[in-house]
Structure 1
Amino acid sequence: MKAVEQLRSPLRVFEKLESEVRSYCRSFPTVFTHARDYKLWDAEGREYIDFFAGAGALNYGHNNPKIKEKLIEYLMNDGVTHSLDMATAAKENFLKRFYHVILKPRGLHYKVMFPGPTGTNSVESALKLARKVTGRDTVISFTNAFHGMTLGSLAVTGNKFKRKGAGIPLNNSISMPFDNYLGDEADTVNYIERFLEDNGSGVSLPAAIILETVQAEGGINAASFQWLQRIEEICRRWNILLIVDDVQMGCGRTGPFFSFEPAGIQPDIVCLSKSIGGYGLPMALTLIKPEFDVWEPGEHNGTFRGNNLGFVAAAQALSYWENESFSEEIKAKGERVRVFLEKLVRQHPEMEGEVRGRGLIQGIAVGKDGLAEKICAAAFERGLIMETSGANSEVVKLLPPLTIDEAGLNKGLQILEDSIKWCKKGH
């Protein structure tokens, strides 16, 4: 506690001038000055390993040198930075690269929409389009879902605290149980289908079902591939649009570029943001099957949907996906993390821990109230940045850059183990 108090003095400016809504600076009470790859340094010169990665916006690390070089070159040549949705060379290059590197090799057919450059705006556009296509207003979402902080996205978000912040009723959505929400024995797909087929259920036929394949903020709840396939079958049977929110799980977080690839499903609409910008730059995409691209010109827009620096960085970031090697590296690192976390759970049964997640989005759900937060605070004191997730902050969440090397991954995992041991002693 003394160490934390000593760090508070550099935060006086933020405490005095910035809104009380600030969040992460309370968990990480220091002033950061620079960053590279998987490391950050603060004003005191202290080094931190980053197992947070900008909440998933920095899959390729801080100041990735290959991407930075392209950005500097573009700026030095007076490339267009802001263009609304006008045609620019930077956008053209990104669209070509995205088609040839991502969509075509996977046999995916999507039109690319540039909404406002945030994940919640991508979700808002997806919800609006699904309602426009079907003429229906209800959307089915899931328990513990998180889709953003604007009103439409909050309406399909499960977290009580975040929903309360809206200040008004959040309508036109129905929450259904996610995979395993009711335990291993309950079939939540049958549960959903029963509501749809029964005219007395009180649930109208929805415009869309929106889901995350792994609920990151909701507690790292990973849906089984079979469950995802069956949800897609429901959508096809009832002419419901399937929206996959891949804002945090996309761009390789679970191993493949899209988190839904291993399940073999093809959503009607896909939401991307966070690491699609490559460098932590604001950018978002809404991918739409061509038959559902029924927008009128300007029907959904935004001043900063033409962030050309984002296009430049995103196009360069796609170089990681020109073959399968990067994806295989992520899977190998993910397996290394899983083995380590399972060892920790076995060695520390007092945590009442459960390992969750896929790829490089994993964590330990802790059974004791408040322990996950204590572990993350102890990790920060030891030079590791990580956060909790879950409705009650009960999950210790690991979200390192995908590019982290073996030495960095091992050091971060060791700090996590040391932090658990420290908390075990009753500090």
Structure 2
Amino acid sequence: MRIFENLESEVRGYIRSFPTIFETSKGAILTNEQGEDFIDFFAGAGTLNYGHNNDHISKALIEYIQKDGVVHGLDMATSAKKDFLQTFQDTILVPRNLDYKVQFTGPTGTNAVETALKLARLVKGRSNVVSFTNGFHGLTQGSASVTGNNDYRDESYISRTNATFMPFDGYFGDMNTMAYFRKFLEDSSSGVDIPAAVIVETIQGEGGINIASKEWLQELESICREYDILLIIDDIQVGNGRSGEFFSFEFAGINPDIVTMSKSIGGGLPMAVVLLKPDLDQWKPGEHTGTFRGNNLAFVAAKVAIEQYWQNDDLTNAVKYKEKIIKEELQKIADKFKDELEVEVRGRGLACAFDIKGDISIAGELSSYAFEEKLIVETCGSEDQIVKFLPPLIIDEETLVEGLKRFEKAVSRLMADKKEKLSGEF
């Protein structure tokens, strides 16, 4: 690992949590240079919904490259883009009665968020944007301004005006936070300007797997319609099947004005899109651009992924089946160690949380112990107090169960070590 310490910036993060050199990967398995296999319950922070080196995607990419298909095309017309757009329209949008134009942005999620915020302000002629406590939307200037965690906001020393934070669903326990939001809008002396847009995750990934209810989302949409506010759903981490449905907002029956997507939409390759209702498409040609908004390899991968996994409900049903397995097994672990740990298990689809109350250091320690058991699992939450489970959607049941067994071993070892250390102090 010395070469990384000597040559790579100190900003590197995940390499510190998982200090080994990975060489190959397949499905839900990462293999290091020593030939050791690790079960991946992280999936590139939700980028690898279809697993590492998916056979269908790899085959299509190899064929495309071998025939000298266009790799980089800015926003010029290419066969790869044409095929993706048609497939996305026919297989994803039309069956869900969704009418969106598609805008390709720079290659990562924060590019999509920046684009959505800029467009909302342009269309509405207002500057304020409402975001929510514990929300995460990216780390460039505009995205950071609507991201809640100070760890991500303070380092840039930017002006963080034109963003107002409201409490997410459940932030105050049983309190209806939409009534709280409405009061600020109703009162002309509240100090909150009517926003151009509201941006929200239906499942807060980095924020701690906090899950918005159907009723809360429906009330949010209603408020947006009443006050002429654009509703932006950030579906970057939990869209593309992570919740079970292709879009994480489908279960609530809402119709957002703008949807941001990245991570798994590109089949594991860099790609980000903004879906916008046609009447919002008020850009002048070239008004918002980016050199890598035309990643044709990602178009190829995305088209194949949609054709392979979204022609029917098989993947949705499989995700919901695996959700039950994860939550049941995590609850068993929580019950087994209830005398040592206070844990809440929650989740929707294959985004699940093992939320440890009290000692906030335990989640990070558990991630380290899990790594020793050859399991990749990360933390999230405002204090990194939650162990987050994001396995590939296509993970087979045997590997899923084995990964959960490894996590249980990690918890057992950690609790035993803590007990031994405590006894040694007396």
TM-score by length of 2: 0.97
Match status 1:347 vs 2:336:
yes
Task: Name the residue aligned to 2:75.
Answer: 85
Matches within 5 A, 1:266-281: 266-278=255-267, 280-281=268-269
> What SS does structure 1 have at the residue aligned with 2:417?
coil
Task: Name the residue aligned to 2:422.
Answer: none
Deviation, 1:369, is 2.0
Match status 1:376 vs 2:367:
yes
Give the letter for the 1:249 counterpart. Answer: V
> What SS does structure 2 have at the residue aligned with 1:355?
strand
Distance 1:426 1:145 in 2: 35
Distance 1:206 1:314 in 2: 34
Distance 2:19 2:188 in 1: 54
CA deviation map 1:208-248 (0-9, x unaligned):
00000000000110111110100000000000000000000
Deviation, 1:356, is 2.0
Deviation, 1:166, is 1.7
Match status 1:317 vs 2:305:
yes
Task: Name the residue aligned to 2:194.
Answer: 205
Distance 2:27 2:160 in 1: 40
Matches within 5 A, 1:246-261: 246-261=235-250
CA deviation map 1:356-395 (0-9, x unaligned):
2201000111012201111110000010001000010000
Distance 2:204 2:399 in 1: 25
Q: Decide whether the 8 Å contact of 2:185 with 2:194 is kept in 1.
A: yes
Deviation, 1:167, is 1.8
Give the letter for the 1:31 counterpart. Answer: I
Distance 1:265 1:351 in 2: 38
Task: Name the residue aligned to 1:284.
Answer: 272
CA deviation map 1:83-120 (0-9, x unaligned):
00000000000000000010000000000000111100
Q: Decide whether the 8 Å contact of 2:141 with 2:158 is kept in 1.
A: no
> What SS does structure 1 have at the residue aligned with 2:393?
coil
Distance 2:383 2:401 in 1: 28
Match status 1:338 vs 2:327:
yes
Distance 1:235 1:257 in 2: 23
Task: Name the residue aligned to 2:117.
Answer: 127
Deviation, 1:183, is 1.1
Percent identical among aligned pairs is 55
Deviation, 1:339, is 1.2
Match status 1:144 vs 2:134:
yes
Deviation, 1:426, is 2.8
Q: Decide whether the 8 Å contact of 2:334 with 2:342 is kept in 1.
A: yes
Task: Name the residue aligned to 1:329.
Answer: 318
Distance 1:133 1:154 in 2: 21
Distance 2:355 2:382 in 1: 11
Give the letter for the 1:250 counterpart. Answer: G
Distance 2:55 2:304 in 1: 11
Computed over aligned residues only, the root mean square deviation of the Cα atoms, in angstroms, reads 0.7
Distance 1:342 1:256 in 2: 24
Matches within 5 A, 1:400-419: 400-419=391-410
Q: How many positions carry a matched residue from both structures?
A: 415
Distance 1:60 1:165 in 2: 34
Matches within 5 A, 1:67-78: 67-78=57-68
Matches within 5 A, 1:152-163: 152-163=142-153
Give the letter for the 1:268 counterpart. Answer: D
Matches within 5 A, 1:210-225: 210-225=199-214
Task: Name the residue aligned to 1:3.
Answer: none
Match status 1:293 vs 2:284:
no
Deviation, 1:168, is 1.8
TM-score by length of 1: 0.96
Distance 2:19 2:164 in 1: 38
Task: Name the residue aligned to 1:392.
Answer: 383
> What SS does structure 2 have at the residue aligned with 1:334?
helix
Q: What are structure 1's unaligned runs of at least 5 residues?
A: 1-10
Distance 2:336 2:220 in 1: 37
> What SS does structure 1 have at the residue aligned with 2:116?
helix
Give the letter for the 1:80 counterpart. Answer: V
> What SS does structure 2 have at the residue aligned with 1:195?
helix
Give the letter for the 1:284 counterpart. Answer: A
Give the letter for the 2:264 counterpart. Answer: S
Deviation, 1:169, is 2.2
Q: What are structure 2's unaligned runs of at least 5 residues?
A: 419-426
Distance 1:362 1:337 in 2: 8
Distance 1:43 1:248 in 2: 29
Match status 1:27 vs 2:17:
yes
Distance 1:187 1:263 in 2: 17
Give the letter for the 1:256 counterpart. Answer: E
Distance 1:20 1:74 in 2: 37
Deviation, 1:345, is 1.7
Q: 2:178 aligns with which of 180, 186, 189?
A: 189
Distance 1:305 1:351 in 2: 47
Distance 1:110 1:166 in 2: 34
Match status 1:238 vs 2:205:
no
CA deviation map 1:245-296 (0-9, x unaligned):
0000111001000000000001000000000001x21001100001111111
Distance 1:225 1:332 in 2: 20
Give the ranges of 4+ consecutive aligned residues of structure 1 lying more than 6 Å apart after TM superposition.
none
Task: Name the residue aligned to 1:264.
Answer: 253
Distance 2:389 2:367 in 1: 10
Give the letter for the 2:382 counterpart. Answer: A
